Amino acid sequence: FDAVDVIRAKRDGQELADAQIDWVIDAYTRGGVADEQMAALAMAILLNGMSRREISRWTDAMVRSGTRMDWTAAGRPTTDKHSTGGVGDKITLPLAPTVAACGAAVPQLSGRGLGHTGGTLDKLESIPGWRASLSAEEMQAVVRDAGAVVCAATENLAPADKKLYALRDVTGTVEAIPLIASSIMSKKIAEGTGALVLDVKVGSGAFMKDTESARELARTMVDLGSDAGVRTVALLTNMQTPLGLTVGNALEVRESVEVLAGGGPEDVVELTVTLAREMLAAAGIDGKDPAEALRDGSAMDVWRAMVTAQGGAVDAPLPRARETHTVLSPADGVLSRLDAYGVGVAAWRLGAGRARKEDTVQAGAGVEIHVKPGAVVAGGEPLLTLHTDEPERFDRALDALDGAFTIAPVGSRPDLLPLVID
């Protein structure tokens, strides 16, 4: 095969043959297809799309670029969740232990944050001593002993995607549904889970800003999972406003622990329980109520075992930022909008997120939310508290919040999207 022929075929709107797809993914992974050629092909895919067969084969070729993990030794059905990413989305932290407490094994390979969305590993790393990188043997041991593991993917998990995602990031080719769907699903299929629940976010804080494109992404990913023998379902959920009352690494761990202790914000509890039910159903486990696992302490027991197994000091105080600044409501009224993207960018600028992969994050930085959309507020009442170690960051964070919330007149009833859209 010749890379230029493959690029020309996709440029001219043709379907790629299975053998062409297998060859191009394999050759790119080994360095036989150059970055500029793969970038041209990615752009042709973005512009001309791919058929279901092409996406499925592309995904499978990326899975085969590395190893597919096997969890049979865990002795229980495996089930996992993937979120397409949002602001304040800490759901994995209470969810993985809850589902394990109900009898499933949860092998969750996670990522770090980039841009305005946070990453699960960054959040967990705010726990003193906690280690994200485990060997394959260590992962198996944590799943066997604790029931769930949340850790970094090994180098050999879909290496074609690692290379391609980094290339797409710098060539304006991230935003193509076939490429997003195959990227996410190649990693989840290679992870070896038997069942998968996709939490596809919709709204300003998400990849997909409208319900129709989120639905198309969800359908594409569900098809890919089914084609690969993974029982896959998807939920479309609201990312117009942040989840819960905290955005930022240690702040989100604190809130997750509150949920595991049977408390925590209503929306975080509702989404945790909803996703847990779907994960258990997809794994064929019934008779266990995840809400009960949060109330009776069994989810908390799994959390403690899981964090401890990865070196985390589970009872140690979480880091706190050195400086805070409070944003007050400018008027009496009803908070009708608190924009997820604006809050996400503010948290990022306070030091909770990174602009480049090499950047470090501040454990204590972020935004604490005092009032959620729909609530009545008085002028001068605190809306948000900003946290950072570096007070010079407050100005740019406040710029991001300019226009990010609306106080509607007293008595108004804002039209808010439900938490679970579909």
**Residue whose CB is nearest to ligand URA in the complex, by number:** 183
Of the candidate spans 25-33, 141-149, 178-186, 365-373, the one that interacts with ligand URA by CB under 6 A turns out to be: 178-186
Pick between residue 176 and residue 401 the one whose CB is nearest to ligand URA.
176
Which of 60, 89, 122, 161 is catalytic? The answer is 161
Closer CB to ligand URA, 58 or 165, in the complex: 165
- Contact flag: residue 38 with ligand URA (CB under 6 A): no
Helix (H), strand (E) at residue 387? strand 382-388
If binding is defined by CB under 6 A, does position 220 make contact with ligand URA? no
Please state the closest distance from residue 380 (CB atom) to ligand URA, in A: 41
Q: What is the DSSP string of 271-325?
A: HHHHHHHHHHHHTT--S--HHHHHHSSHHHHHHHHHHHHTT--TTSPPP--SEEE
199 is catalytic: no
The catalytically annotated residue of 168, 277, 304, 337 is: 168
Residue 184 or 214 having the CB closest to ligand URA = 184
**Closest by alpha carbon to 377, among 345, 333, 323?**
333
Smallest gap from Cβ 209 to ligand URA, in A, equals: 15
Does 58 bind ligand URA (CB under 6 A)? Our answer is no
β-bridge mates for residue 78, sequence order: 105
The first and second tokens of residue 86, run together, are: 């949002």
At 131, is the secondary structure helix, strand, or coil?
Answer: coil
Q: Which own/partner contact pairs does 370-375 have at CB distance under 8 Å and 24+ positions apart? A: 370/245, 371/329, 371/335, 371/338, 372/241, 372/245, 372/265, 372/267, 372/335, 372/338, 373/241, 373/335, 373/336, 373/337, 373/338, 373/414, 373/416, 374/334, 374/335, 374/336, 374/414, 374/416, 375/334, 375/335
Q: Pick the closer one to ligand URA by CB: 115 or 391.
A: 115
Report if residue 184 touches ligand URA, rule: CB under 6 A.
Answer: yes
Count of positions on this chain that bind ligand URA (CB under 6 A):
6
180 binds ligand URA (CB under 6 A): yes
Of the residues 28, 71, 165, 341, which one makes contact with ligand URA according to CB under 6 A = 165
Least distance in Å: CB of 30 to ligand URA?
21
183 binds ligand URA (CB under 6 A): yes
59 in contact with ligand URA (CB under 6 A): no
Q: Which long-range contacts (CB under 8 A, 24 or more apart) does 264-267 make?
A: 264/94, 265/372, 267/243, 267/372, 267/419
**Site residues (vs ligand URA, CB under 6 A):** 165, 174, 179-180, 183-184
Any idea which residues carry the catalytic annotation?
82, 161, 168, 183, 187
